[in-house]
Amino acid sequence: MIVINDDCINCDMCVPECPVEAIDMGSEHFEINQSLCVECEGYYDQPSCYAVCPVDAVDITSD
């Protein structure tokens, strides 16, 4: 599971990188719609939101 944590500074960089448009603004910071996220499988070698985030606000969990 890929999640955006509270370190997110709402820079917007990950939004255009998501191939399935799973990232939207939440109540306080950007959030990943888990029903849409495919963890970039079939698109990239690693989650692109994780790769582009400048402040390490994207976590890859084992769930």
Residues that bind ligand SF4 (CB under 6 A): 2, 4, 8-14, 17-20, 22-23, 30, 32, 37-40, 47-49, 52-53, 55, 57-58
In the complex, least distance from residue 58 CB atom to ligand SF4, rounded to whole angstroms: 5
Closest by CA position to 37, among listed 52, 26, 21: 21
> Which residue shows structure tokens 């939004």?
15
Nearer to ligand SF4, 18 or 61 (CB): 18
Q: Which two tokens stand for residue 62?
A: 């084992």
Shorter beta-carbon distance to ligand SF4: residue 9 or 63? 9
Query: Cα separation of 35 and 56, whole Å?
Result: 22
